[in-house]
Amino acid sequence: MIQRLAPSAPRWVHLLAVLAGVFLLLPLIALCTRVAWTDIIGIALREDSLQMFALSLGSAVVATLCCLVLGIPLALWLQLLPRGAGLARGLVLLPLAMPPVVAGLALSAAFGRKGLVAPLLDATGIQLAFSFAGVVMAHCFIALPFVVVTVDAALRQFDREIWYSAQAVGMTPTQVVRRVLLPGVRPAILSGAGLAFVRSLGEFGTTLTFAGSLPGVTRTLPVGIYLARETDPDQAYALAALLVLLAVAVLAAVALLGRSPRVRTQQAVELRPVDVAALSALSASELGAPSIKVDDFYAQAGHTTALIGPNGAGKTTLLGKIAGRISAQVFIDGKPISEPMWQRGIVMLTQQPGLPRHCSVEQAIAMVHPEAARLLEAAGLEALANVPTAELSGGQAAQVALLRALAARPRVLLLDEPLAAVDVEAAQHWRALLAAAAKGRTVVFISHDPTDVATLSSKIAVLEQAQVRSIADTQEEFSRPSNSFVASFAGVNRLEGVVQSVEHGIAEMRVGDLHVVAQADGDLAVHDRAVAVFAPDAVTLKVVENPAGVESARNQWEGRITSVEFHKNIVFVRVKFATASITLHTTQASALRLSLGVGSSVICAIKALNVHVYRAPTPHASTEEL
């Protein structure tokens, strides 16, 4: 058995920790020495003691329930405040900072016989001060912050993606709160309830000031202990000991009930092939695939559009706008959509799976689809049905999240890096899921993997600085990249310049200091702005000191190496010219033979037949026409 060692700490930390523990425990130990343990049962069974016990327990239970009913919604509301949440949290803590007597006076000023709302209470015949209801109100005023602070802290740590994804799959806000949020923070709710209960049991000053000390009506156990300490110290110490024991028992029970299950790493399981037909039938959208337009982006109905662009280009923001997470004017089939997330029929799946962590895989899918078992079987994931979602590996969680998204039967599916968490072996299984997901719906996905874009998409939208630069068919964009980023993404070199001559299908163009000769499109003309594209493998590299063997290539460019990267047997070499740069591939043996290094002068030779020249694309103007 492997024993994990705790991290080390300075000695002064241990010393101060021991001092703090002694400071907390010593008074309790001293109290126990004063208790007449042989008489404690008799003291507890006295009529006045039983009355105070019953009143304290009853008021604590009612006050705790009231704190839960009021505190949980307040904690949820704090999460939704766009601004001012810090001030609101400070106000919630204010009753804890008040001296108990001040809190009692404040309650009297508001709800007393001459309080602010006294006319309304008198009209309805409600009497709060010096009544059992007043005791409960005093306890609620002091104990409510414990529930709010505990639940609020848990919700602030709660994965927001779980909240978003639950709404995206069609769950109403009430369903999300009841079936996802509250079960997800159950330990915090129990802790808050336990703290509120024991704080209510021990409340003294506020109760005495607002509700008084009427025997059998408002005299709680703490008030009784305070009064007995002068007349009957034995009773006071005995009741105090019983009160401490009761508080300890409650806190221990709460800790036991709120203990989170131990999360174990899920072992690898064998996944069956995807039944694309069955999965498509079970997850088919009843509304059909719509077109989407937001800002300058347009996705054709029924197509899978890949969003590509550099980091920070606004790809995830664009998906958030379509999904309803970010405020924007979105058009579906040409009509503006204003429905909230859970009514749009649009599911956005990010790199975080967003699965509820308090249930099994089958239960998570059953929240969305009545035939969860059949869905798992069709997706080949039935082996994961009874696995807690918290124990799934990253790749397993990603596949289950996609299946849960499909279970909602969305008409639009938005995916942010769908294959980021999937290993090589599971990638084929995942692509089969994505193939089924694309049937009968509009799909928009973000990816930095050219293989996924090439195999999964029919359209490519290129984003740069939060603007759509181009939208084209995938094959067209890969063969004729619209800018240098797309060229790098597709793994080709792209040089942009001006055509100088076109003859017999061969064009000559000037790219800064480079003279490029290449095959030309039939519609290319002199003085056109044009783009030359060629593969890195088409470049032959020679050192300047030994240029023999490059004369047959019509393109011969001299440059300087700026980077050399070894990837197994392939070497990626970056060569810079005066106004351009290219990437080429060579073998490890050739790199060593030529003594390639950063700063070396080299000649890049490319045959004209390996270079393709076409007219440069015009700036992107209207996506909807595409």
SS3 string, 140-204, reads HHHHHHHHHHHHHHHHHHCCHHHHHHHHHCCCCHHHHHHHHHHHHCHHHHHHHHHHHHHHHHHCC
Q: How far is it, in rounded angstroms, from Cα 306 to Cα 319? A: 11
- Let me know how many helices (H) and strands (E) the chain has, helices first: 24, 20
What DSSP letter does each residue of 371-429 carry, written as one string?
A: THHHHHHHTT-GGGTTSBGGG--HHHHHHHHHHHHHHT--SEEEEESTTTT--HHHHHH
Question: Domain spanning 16-257: which superfamily?
Answer: MetI-like (1.10.3720.10)
pLDDT of 130: 85
Please give the DSSP secondary-structure letter assigned to residue 38: G
Asked whether residue 366 carries a pLDDT value surpassing 50, the answer given is yes
Is it true that domain 493-615 has CATH number 2.40.50.100? yes
pLDDT tens column, 487-521: 989 989 999 999 999 998 899 999 988 999 999 98
Q: How far is it, in rounded angstroms, from Cα 481 to Cα 333? A: 29
Strand order in the sheet with 292-294: 297-299, 292-294, 330-332, 335-337
Least reliable range by pLDDT among 61-65, 147-151, 360-364, 414-418: 414-418
Strand order in the sheet with 601-606: 540-543, 601-606, 555-567, 570-576, 581-587
For the residues 88-104, what does the mean pLDDT come to? 90
> What count of other Cβ atoms lies within 10 Å of the Cβ of residue 376?
20
For the residues 592-618, what does the mean pLDDT come to? 89
> What count of other Cβ atoms lies within 10 Å of the Cβ of residue 74?
17
Q: How far is it, in rounded angstroms, from Cα 360 to Cα 386? A: 5
Structure tokens at 259: 């203990």
Which three-class secondary structure state does DSSP give residue 337?
strand
Q: How far is it, in rounded angstroms, from Cα 406 to Cα 408? A: 5
Nearest residue to 152 (alpha-carbon basis) of 79, 70, 255? 79
Q: How far is it, in rounded angstroms, from Cα 145 to Cα 71? A: 7
Q: How far apart are the first and last CA of the chain?
A: 63
Q: Where are the alpha helices (DSSP H) in 85-159?
A: 85-97, 100-111, 118-124, 132-157
What DSSP letter does each residue of 563-617 carry, written as one string?
A: EEEEETTEEEEEEE-SS-EEEEEEEHHHHHHTT--TT-EEEEEE-GGG-EEEEPP
Ranges assigned E (strand) in 491-577: 493-503, 506-511, 514-520, 529-534, 540-543, 555-567, 570-576
Q: How far is it, in rounded angstroms, from Cα 236 to Cα 230? A: 9
Every domain of the chain with CATH number 2.40.50.100 lies at: 493-615
Asked whether residue 623 carries a pLDDT value surpassing 80, the answer given is no
Asked whether residue 624 carries a pLDDT value surpassing 50, the answer given is no
Report the CATH number of the 276-479 domain.
Answer: 3.40.50.300
pLDDT of 626: 42
Distances (CA, A) of 459 to 86, 188, 431: 45, 47, 17
Q: How far is it, in rounded angstroms, from Cα 514 to Cα 539? A: 15
Q: How far is it, in rounded angstroms, from Cα 457 to Cα 299? A: 12
626 CB-near residues (< 8 Å, 6+ apart): 298, 300, 471, 472
Every domain of the chain with CATH number 1.10.3720.10 lies at: 16-257
pLDDT of 292: 94
For the residues 141-146, what does the mean pLDDT come to? 94
Q: How far is it, in rounded angstroms, from Cα 462 to Cα 459? A: 10
Nearest residue to 328 (alpha-carbon basis) of 292, 303, 301, 290? 292
Q: How confident is the model at residue 269 (pLDDT cuts 50, 70, 90)?
A: low
Asked whether residue 307 carries a pLDDT value surpassing 50, the answer given is yes
Who has greater pLDDT, 423 or 60? Answer: 60
Asked whether residue 6 carries a pLDDT value surpassing 70, the answer given is no
Every domain of the chain with CATH number 3.40.50.300 lies at: 276-479
Least reliable range by pLDDT among 223-232, 385-394, 426-435: 426-435
pLDDT of 159: 87
pLDDT tens column, 311-343: 888 899 999 999 988 888 999 999 998 888 888
Q: Phi, psi (5° rounding) for residue 602?
A: -140, 165
Mean pLDDT taken over the chain: 87
> What count of other Cβ atoms lies within 10 Å of the Cβ of residue 439?
17
pLDDT of 261: 60
Distances (CA, A) of 251 to 139, 152, 258, 296, 393: 18, 20, 10, 57, 34
Q: How confident is the model at residue 37 (pLDDT cuts 50, 70, 90)?
A: confident
pLDDT of 128: 82
What is the CB-side half-sphere exposure of residue 19 using CA atoms within 13 A? 6
Least reliable range by pLDDT among 185-199, 438-452, 608-622: 608-622
Assess contact for 48 and 239: CB atoms under 8 A.
no
Q: How far is it, in rounded angstroms, from Cα 333 to Cα 322? A: 13
Burial class (CB in 10 A: 0-12, 13-18, 19+), 26: exposed
Nearest residue to 543 (alpha-carbon basis) of 610, 609, 599, 611? 599
pLDDT of 425: 67
Distances (CA, A) of 118 to 37, 108, 206, 213, 587: 47, 10, 19, 21, 90
Assess contact for 289 and 301: CB atoms under 8 A.
yes
Beta bridge partners of 378: none
506-511 and 555-567: which strand pairing? unpaired
Burial class (CB in 10 A: 0-12, 13-18, 19+), 94: exposed
Q: How confident is the model at residue 559 (pLDDT cuts 50, 70, 90)?
A: very high
pLDDT exceeding 70 applies to what percent of the chain? 93
Distances (CA, A) of 427 to 391, 420, 495: 20, 10, 34
Structure tokens at 87: 């001030």
Structure tokens at 354: 């967003």
pLDDT exceeding 90 applies to what percent of the chain? 37
